[in-house]
């Protein structure tokens, strides 16, 4: 874990200690407020919890960036994000995403961090990324070391967001082998 990540983790632990609330409870407070803009959430946290600017800013970022949500908790929010990602010609790729997520939620709890064109799946750190790379292909980034690359499991250059990439064009490519690679990454991230 890098120094910024350790610092962020320590800051979030301190926020929990000061407020007497878990990250889940703090995230629920933000969701219940109905606020969606970072600055509004930060101001609400400062007023409601008496947090300083830095702590409120970090907590707002945590809730918005990581989503602080599991797949089951996301409900319509996840659906809205995915509807934006899988629009137009990419809408035909949504069943691939849905099949992948159906397999991954069986692993246990994790966070979904929606990004502009994909979703990042995290435990203590990112273990996978899923999103349409083109109008005809979904790419799955798998973040784990020690897998044997092959024609399907493409090793990525050092410094990439994930160690491996898998390209999918049909739902049937979501198979036992792919799920096992993602499971290994999930276990290593936890």
Instruction: Compute the distance between CA of residue 69 and CA of residue 166 in angstroms, rounded to an integer.
Output: 25
pLDDT in tens, 1-41: 455 667 778 888 999 998 999 888 898 888 888 888 888 88
DSSP notation for 29-70: HHHHHT--SHHHHHHHHHHHH---HHHHHHHHHIIIIITT--
- The SS3 of residue 141 is strand
Greater confidence, 105 or 72? 105
- Which two tokens mark 50? 């008496």
Q: pTM above the 0.75 mark?
A: no
pLDDT in tens, 49-99: 999 988 888 888 888 765 544 334 444 355 567 788 899 999 999 999 999
What Rg value do the Cα atoms of the chain yield, rounded?
A: 18
């Amino acid at each position: 874990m890098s120094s910024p990540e350790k610092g962020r983790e320590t800051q979030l632990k301190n926020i929990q200690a000061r407020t007497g609330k878990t990250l889940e409870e703090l995230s629920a407070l933000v969701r219940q407020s109905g606020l969606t803009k970072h600055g509004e959430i930060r101001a609400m946290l400062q007023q409601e919890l008496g947090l300083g600017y830095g702590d409120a800013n970090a907590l707002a970022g945590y809730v918005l960036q990581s989503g602080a949500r599991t797949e089951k908790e996301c409900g319509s929010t996840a659906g809205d994000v995915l509807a934006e990602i899988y629009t137009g010609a990419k809408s035909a790729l949504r069943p691939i995403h849905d099949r992948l997520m159906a397999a991954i939620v069986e692993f246990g709890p994790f966070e979904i961090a929606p990004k502009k064109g994909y979703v990042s799946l995290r435990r203590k750190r990112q273990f996978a990324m899923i999103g349409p790379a083109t109008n005809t292909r979904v790419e799955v980034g798998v973040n784990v070391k020690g897998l044997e690359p092959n024609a399907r499991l493409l090793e990525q250059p050092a410094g990439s967001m994930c160690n491996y990439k898998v390209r999918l064009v049909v739902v049937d490519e979501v198979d036992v082998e792919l799920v096992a690679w993602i499971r290994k990454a999930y276990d290593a991230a936890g």
